[in-house]
Chains A and B, each alone.
Chain A
């Protein structure tokens, strides 16, 4: 066998391994999903605490509902929508990407582009 053949095998093995490890972690169990979702939800009766971290009655109710809905096969998005309809966007720690929040989400990137632009102008000036 040629040397490059070994490389090929190693290469494929390597990437498939990465792929599979990633894949394994994509299939989480329900409790993990409940955790990652409730970590991004606000406990409405607490002071800036996530539902996951909180022991308040409200939080425990929502945890139950989230778990129930996940078991029913509802997607994360549907659950969030369900909660937003009732408690408002306030419950989401991660703001929705919608018209109101478009400025919030695009702001850092606008600034980055400005910064890059500034750098380009400045370095060019020097080389001229």
Chain B
């Protein structure tokens, strides 16, 4: 019953969008009428999504999708998040977020009516494409042909709070670019004045902020769930999220430039189309199962062809309009040897090179396999040795860019910066030298610290410090850059200076981790609602009076017969101590302890970036 409601409202929503699309040519609507229909279709899509969720929560196994991906003994939170823990449901979530964005966009004030209408019509077009994809190839409302009392269960790796928040936030980022895309296309069609750029800026900031949060959440999830001690693997699915992120970053920066320069408009339109195209391309790569990934998703090649078609239509449409209706050329760029505009242009170029490099690296194995019928891998080492060096000059520029002038190539108090840079280099050199010298470690630390230092100097010397909202809005770019600097330090330290210790231990053994005594107390097994847990209990720093207890082990899920590893992590502000319990051999357990210095800085940096993204949205 509930499935029927869900299906019908989904179909109705698509129907309304068809109607709206036709309305442009056949019958003209007034603004209010038009907006009513847009909102109605959004609410219907939402209703459809919530009926699926309801089916999951009530474990309605007459729905085939619920039967395939749920089990009645799961805790409630995983029943809810299980809604999008599978292909069909996650596509419905995608569509749902798309219509939520349309819904909110229909309320945007201070934008020309016709322009808003056209944007929403393009959104309706996107809604139809993805809606048809769901109905025709991945319908989550199919009826189960056999009567069953129990479902097949959800992949245990997904039975985690991470699933509850990571996909919705990430999708909000991906799909948010649909609005930016539609705005840009509408701007091309109407040859509108530059008002639309401010609207686009707001929405691209919102999407970028969501995307940042979504990627970081996914990264953190991988960090504690996969149990490899790393948080970024240059996995295809991660690359896919990174591409629109970097392109989106370039977009946000270009939109800032609009204040000073007009010529950048064409570039902005290009980036707007690119961002959403990359988001859709990512969906294609993930959903077609064309690439192997740690995020193993169920794959089906007929779906792959369909979504490839959608990707082709959207991207082709976007770039075709771009080709035919390119914005009029205005005055050329004011590029001096070093001013704000040239810094932004250089950074944009570097970011787009990084994006394209990641894109090529991700699809290169496909090309090679089609051409030569052999398979290659393009993995972390490739990206580390191409993307990172490309980004380094960008990071250097970033540290001073906000204080550069728009017009002249003079830098305020440049001596102060030069001096502090030299002092900082010497300090970092000495420091890295007394620990152990590593080129990447040195470069990363220096860059990170320099970005933070330069941003702080800029804040102190350029503005009067007041604790008002306006002040925080003004220094916001610097805050974002400080966030990047902190994240760079975290990334460098946790990857370059990671320390690894392997032990073979029996229960009751004591061992040393970084000079601290650790006791391997015992192994416990417990029965939880839907899995059996095996945990090694470790007591860290037993010689002090502040003993930390860490549990690391494995879970066994009888329904799906899968074992997941559950790392035990002791979070400290300056390092994570990461325990992995391996297999038992001759009464001894293999225990790997990773010391990841300054991992918390990565998350702190991301929090700052998200914060400044939010602040920037509030600023006009």
Contact = CB atoms under 8 A, between A and B. Distances in A.
Nearest to B380: A93
A47 B382 contact: no
B292 A47 contact: yes
Interface in A21-64: 21-22, 25, 35, 40, 42, 47-50, 53, 55
Given A25-B436, A40-B379, A91-B377, A126 B235 contact: no
A71 interface: no
A88 interface: yes
Contact of B372 (A48, A49, A50, A100): A100
A107 interface: yes
A27 B612 CA distance: 45
B477 interface: no
A67 to B, nearest CB: 14
Contact of B437 (A21, A100, A101): A21
Interface string A79-108: 000000000111111111000110011011
A13 B561 CA distance: 61
A123 B258 CA distance: 19
Contact of A53 (B230, B296, B342): B230
B379 A122 contact: no
Contacts of B438: 25
Contacts of B336: 123, 126
B544 interface: no
Contact of A108 (B229, B357, B582): B357
B379 A18 contact: no
Interface string B324-360: 0000000011111100001001100110010011001
Nearest to A55: B582
B390 A108 contact: yes
A33 B336 CA distance: 48
A42 B564 CA distance: 20
Contact of A47 (B293, B356, B376): B293
Contacts of A48: 233, 235-236, 292-294, 379
Interface string B429-450: 0000100111000000000000
A34 to B, nearest CB: 12
A92 B376 contact: yes
B399 to A, nearest CB: 19
Given A22-B437, A123-B342, A94 B230 contact: no
Interface of B: 228-230, 233, 235-236, 292-296, 332-337, 342, 345-346, 349-350, 353, 356-357, 360-361, 364, 368, 372, 374-382, 385-387, 390, 433, 436-438, 500, 582-583
Given A21-B436, A50-B380, A107-B356, 18 more contacts: A42-B379, A47-B294, A49-B228, A53-B228, A55-B582, A89-B377, A90-B377, A93-B381, A94-B379, A94-B381, A95-B376, A101-B364, A111-B356, A112-B390, A118-B349, A122-B333, A123-B342, A126-B333
